[in-house]
Amino acid sequence: MNTIQPLSTNRDSTDIDQPTPTNAELINDLVTANHILYAQGVLDAFGHVSVRHPENPKRYLLCRNMAPGQVEAEDIIQYDLDSRPLNANGRKVYLERFIHGEIYKARPDVMAVVHSHSPSVVPFSVVRTAPLRPVCHMAGFLGIGAPIFEISDEIGDGSNLLVTDAPLGKALARTLDKKTLVLMRGHGSTVVADDLKKVVYRAVYAEINAKTQLQALQLGQPRYLSEKEAAAATETIETQVIRAWNLWKQEADEVN
């Protein structure tokens, strides 16, 4: 059986604390991703999206602590996989950046991460008898369902439900395992992909699918996509991600 081996974070003398030069196009795409996710109602004043550095897998890019809809190129910060900012220069960073760093460590196949509190997804994080599953072909990436991360299993009762350190980030990554989305009880979700544009697509359609599933459940028991249908739909539909990206980018540009 194929297994995903966590990415080693051992640093050599040429790698320690040094940000890797980054192509301006990637930074601009990350800015656009923030604006799209805000415009599509996945992120609001909170939540965040990151991308792994394509030339250095031990680095990722994430903006400073701010509302996603206001992000510009100068707000992007580079981090190592321990989620230490390498060029913050006094700028405040997200408390939950460990979500990103620990998933990148555990999943070398992941190139982008979105953490959100999208409103239709949150109910599925608190009702275990109604798992989030794909009801439409656009959300086939959900497979047979999304696991739920229960933070109280890690640190007991009384937490603020935030993933604010590496051990909690590691626990979240374990719950995600090889799947594309993990729910976070009473909090939101985290979705991953092997491409920045694709992770934006998945985050948007996770919210759309959740809303559709909630509507279907009011009518009766839905017939969900089978595991084979979900896989086939994902293989086909996700070749068309750029179509959605271009439309959403235009809409976000009009808002901004």
Q: What residues are annotated to the active site?
A: 96
**How far is the C-alpha of 239 from the C-alpha of 241, rounded, in Å?**
6
Three-state DSSP at 16 gives coil
The answer to whether residues 184 and 161 touch, using CB atoms and an 8 Å cutoff, is yes
The answer to whether residues 199 and 193 touch, using CB atoms and an 8 Å cutoff, is yes
How many helices (H) does the chain have, and how many strands (E)? 8, 7
Q: Is 165 exposed, middle or buried (0-12, 13-18, 19+ CB in 10 A)?
A: middle
DSSP code per residue over 133-187: ---SGGGGGGTT---EE-THHHH-TT--S---SHHHHHHHHHHHTTSSEEEETTT
**How far is the C-alpha of 178 from the C-alpha of 249, rounded, in Å?**
29
